[in-house]
Structure 1
């Protein structure tokens, strides 16, 4: 292996799709505009309507903010690389993108776990909901969902920053991934995998257990409730469950690509799997909550109705 330290990596996923890069640029630009528009609309509706200043909607708002954060860490660089002739990304930007995309994914799961706990309290302890899910507690849960992943992943990421990369590094994805980067380091990385597994345990397992715990108790309460209460609980939980399933699909795709040999899988399938993780989740989430949640849907409809009437020309009768 060449011992010369490298500062630029080649992203071959873009080279493979070179013949259609202008079409892809247009599609990605459209998707980015949709992600920004949908999530900003969701944030604006929740922030402007006092009736929606409740824990459940505040958590949805944070989910939308994280969607904007994650897509911004991926899509602008994607648009630039699509129009590039060399499809190269600098080491500093690759490292920034790794931290950006990974923290987005972990924060997403933490917010989903907190939302699951919120549904558990609302359904299992409806009379005590406002005392249990008070504003101070809500703020603490939101702070935990953001600060805990950022600080803990920064500790792990510090190990990656110490690595040295030699020779020509070719990255077979649309964005930089920590595991792929570590595999191609020319310095010792034996401790890195162990630290990575410990980090995953601390970042993901408690939140997974919280979601399982919440829905186990919700299911138990629903079994003892009337049919009307069961339908109401189901309507409340469906958007959150869809978001968890959507996130899990993207997460499993990403883990499968990073940890297992996918050489036998079509390159196009691998690209789609990679895009699902960073592109479809922030696009689907606002659609899920905008369409499935009646309160949000009603306020969005009112906003567009007011906008429609405000844009209508005024007719003056003589």
Structure 2
């Protein structure tokens, strides 16, 4: 008999499935959240579901490489990286009893699922959705945390593309969903934003962004297409972002509260006490860096200065 058959049906397990394109910071996020939650006193385990992950920077409780690896699939079946990754996920769906038995060893924990970075898995293919659906049947209450690199904000065309991908992912995955702009501590290195940061996090009136694209000769001929894409995104009215600097306590806390609200997890008294202690810690302690809000304020102020200089020049 499956070990899961002995689990009480009323026993709930909470956690996050961390998804997003390659290079968006999923593994770094899992490491940061694991350390952050350990400081809060929440017992947490990380589950690696990415068969392409070779060197994991965090302590891993369950690793899919024990079942299948991308290198073995590519070599044995003569597949490319994309085809090999899809095969690995399909292989996992046919061996969910292995995953079930591994997860049952940590049933009293909070779960972080580090997922593969192939975008097609979250917008078109059914394997990942089937895995998430099975986890839900096993009484997991999960939130999909979709990471997007914040540098896309600096390019209006790429940002519209990110919005379309995020919306498609939300509709396909069918889980409570939180979109996160990662690497906010590096946003000032990506160049000047066309609008203030809250325009991108709240996904305000995209007509301004479409008009901004019209000034580019290359995108001018795609004006009608971009306009219709923006209308689709706004008609659904689902996409918004939470900014994240994984090294900042306040930023991590904002994301964690949003995720916990999405899947119904409630803070315990111990976590609240530990959180208050962390937030009041002296400068130089773990996670004590410049806040994401501070990054935003400095960036907005620098834009204002630039605008004032331009006015003076005129």
Alignment TM-score > 0.5, same fold: no
More helix by share: 1
Structure number with greater CO (CA < 8 Å, separation at least 6) is 1
Tell me the TM-score range normalised by the shorter chain. under 0.3
Q: Which has the higher strand share?
A: 2
